[in-house]
Each structure stands twice: as C-alpha cells, then as structure tokens.
Amino acid sequence: DAAINRIAAGEVVERPASAVKELVENSIDAGARRIDITVAEGGKRLIRVEDDGCGISRSDLPLALSRHATSKIDGSDLLNIHTFGFRGEALPSLGAVGRLRITSRIAGEDAFEVDVAGGRMTSVRPAAGRPGTVVELRDLFYATPARLKFMRTERAELQAVSDVIKRLAMAEPYLRISLTDATETPRILFSVEPHSGPPLEALSRRLRAVLGRDFAENALAIDAEREGLHMTGFAALPTYSRGSAVQQFMFVNGRPVKDKMLIGALRGAYMDFLSRDRHPAAVLFIDCDPQLVDVNVHPAKSEVRFRDPAVARGLIVSGLRHALAGAGH
Ligand code: ADP
Ligand code: MG
C-alpha cells in the first residue's frame, strides 16, 4: 500500500542528509573509489550521487528498487552485518518519497536506467553512462507535504549534507569524494583526494584535509584494545579548542554513529582536564566482531548497542586517559 510505504520510507529518509547517507553508503558497498555528490537547494530539489563502483545489471535494476527484495541478510543473521547496506530499504524508500532515477552500467556492458516516482517504476531502458552508478533524487517529499514542512532552511539542510559527507570521508581515507552545490552556478564545496599508506597514516592525512591542520597537529594517535573491542583514531589534546564547534566523530565497524553512551565515555575520559562546557575533540573507530554489537537499533542507524556497554565505555575512558597521560596529562 502506497501510503504505508511512504510512512515507512519517512523512517529511513528523514531529510536530504539521510538520503545522501544511504546513497553514499551504497556507493561504498559497491566498491567505489570515487564518489561525486551534487545537491541543489540543500538537497530538497536535487540529490545526485555518481560513483565508479561495480554497477547494477539490467536484470537487477528493478529488484534493487523493490522493498526488501535485495536485503543481504535473512532474519537469522541480523547481528552479522559487515557492509553498510543490510535492509534493502533505501532505494525503495527514496522511490516512495521523491522522483528517483537510477542509471547504471557494469564495466563491459551497456548502461541502463529506470525511473521511480510515487512508488511506481518505469520499465528499464537503454541509457548512456560510464561504468558505475548515478542515482538522482529530485523533489524530495513532493508527495508528502507534512514531511516537506519539517525540512529546514536550504542552508541548514546543506550543512547537514556536508556533515554526513565529511563523516563518511573520515571513515574512508582511500576514497575520492566531492560535494558540489548546483543550486545556481555549480560550486565545489568539499573535495578530498584519496590518501595512501597504512590506515592510521592515511587517516591522519584525511583528518588534516577534513578537520584542518590545527586538529591534526594537536591530536594524539590512539590504539587500544579491551575484550575483543579495538579502538583506533585520534584524540585532541585538552589544550586544543575549536571555539564552539563540536568535533566528535565516532565509528563502529566503519559506520558513523552518534551514540550518547560513546559520547559520554569520551567526555568522561577528559573529565579532569576540561571544564564541563568544553567538548573534547576526537575521531574514534571502534572495531569488533559484529556479534558484539547491534547497529540495527534505529532505522537511521546512528545508535549502537554493545553486548557489554561497560567494556566499550572502559575502552574509551582508559584508552584515552592512557594516551593523555603519555602526553604529560
Ligand atoms: P541495501 O543497501 O540495504 O541492500 P538499498 O535499497 O540501499 O538496499 O540498495 C538495494 C540494492 O541495490 C543493493 O543491495 C545493491 O545491490 C544495489 N545498489 C544500490 N546502489 C548501488 C550502487 N551505487 N552501486 C551498485 N549497486 C547498488
Ligand atoms: Mg543501502
């Protein structure tokens, strides 16, 4: 039923930034080395994500747009999530809340495209294009005025899109990624080259590009382990400050998360060094066996539930305190 689909879709796609997140994650899943994102009017009028990933075959195109048809997991495997995509819901949801066009080409084959609007799909037709996939989403929420009303100003939505892209750029230092605003004359807002070297080195270069030299030069490398949880990344010295900007970026098994417990642990680690009104800056990656964490708590996938939250908290607090102590704090 179309109405139910639109409501369900609203859970996955709350605003342009959540659509961008789903699309870029799909591109990453597809093995892309390069992802170019274009938005107009903060993503309300247009979101376009172009990648050089594996592409979608002619016969898979309609399946990719059907609800749950493509979910890579069955119910028994809910805790074993290795790639970003696992629900098979993003594309069908986007096709329910906006005008969606997907053009895709597998290397060595022809390009094909398909349109979806209001949940209705056209037939697949031949198209032109380079190997990879282009997803265009126009007029987000045009059919759901209630949702449309909740969207914020173009500027606020663009800011949220930019945040999502910067987070993903931090998680994928080997990726080339750009954001262009095409509201008027196209303008590149963000662009990073792929970085090379061992993970922590590549990450350090990427953070310099995304967060600035000041962060990179005032950050301690973190590498700690506790009961199967591994934490790497960079944490800023207590003396580092970026004014009122909050620079706290956390990732669990490569997935950007915004989780109260993790942020609380970060704050706890700096408790003795920072006054309550200051936010410690850090970029932290926690990796573990997927069995030890449930990332399927919320449709927008930004909260996590560790099997043993105390271990995660302890890892962050002790790992960061150890690094700070090593630096003379
Ligand atoms: P999920 O990512 O949860 O599987 P989606 O609705 O996001 O579900 O995507 C459906 C399917 O479409 C994916 O499983 C994948 O096979 C295919 N797909 C989507 N985007 C891309 C892309 N950029 N490149 C290649 N395949 C894609
Ligand atoms: Mg997906």
- Return the CATH number at 170: 3.30.565.10
More confidently predicted of 93 and 166: 166
* Ligand 1 contacts CB of residue 132 (under 6 A): no
- What digits encode the pLDDT tens for the residues 306-320? 999 999 999 999 999
Q: Are residues 137 and 245 in the same domain?
A: no
Split into its structural domains, the chain has a count of: 2
Residue 286 CB-density burial (10 A; 0-12 exposed, 13-18 middle, 19+ buried): buried
* Ligand 1 contacts CB of residue 87 (under 6 A): yes
Where is the domain boundary, 134, 162, 192?
A: 192
Mean pLDDT value across residues 226-236: 97
Helix (H, G, I), strand (E, B) or coil at 22: helix
Distance CA 88, CA 69 (A): 7
Q: Are residues 170 and 248 in the same domain?
A: no
CB atoms within 10 A of CB 251: 21
Q: Are residues 228 and 181 in the same domain?
A: no
ipTM comes to 0.99
Q: Are residues 32 and 61 in the same domain?
A: yes
Q: Which atom belonging to ligand 1 lies closest to the Cα atom of 83?
A: 2
Query: Strands (DSSP E) along 86-228, which ranges?
Result: 99-105, 111-117, 120-121, 125-127, 132-138, 176-181, 187-192, 219-226
Q: Are residues 145 and 214 in the same domain?
A: no
Residue 299 has pLDDT above 70, yes or no: no
Q: Are residues 144 and 217 in the same domain?
A: no
Neighbours of ion ligand 2 (CB under 5 A): 26, 85, 90
* Tokens read off for 67: 């609800």
Where is the domain boundary, 192, 219, 244?
A: 192
Q: Which of 181-185, 254-258, 298-302 has the highest mean pLDDT?
A: 181-185
Q: Are residues 104 and 176 in the same domain?
A: yes
Question: According to the model, what pLDDT value does residue 104 have?
Answer: 98
Mean pLDDT value across residues 271-298: 88
Q: Which atom belonging to ligand 1 lies closest to the Cα atom of 51?
A: 23
Q: Are residues 44 and 161 in the same domain?
A: yes
**How far from each other are the two terminal CA atoms of the chain, in whole angstroms?**
60
> Nearest CA to 20 among 193, 153, 137?
137
Distance CA 229, CA 287 (A): 6
pLDDT interval class at 90 (50, 70, 90): confident
Range of the domain at 163: 2-192
Q: Which atom belonging to ligand 1 lies closest to the Cα atom of 89?
A: 6
- Return the CATH number at 227: 3.30.230.10
Q: How many A from CA of 21 to the centre of ligand 2?
A: 9
Distance CA 139, CA 148 (A): 10
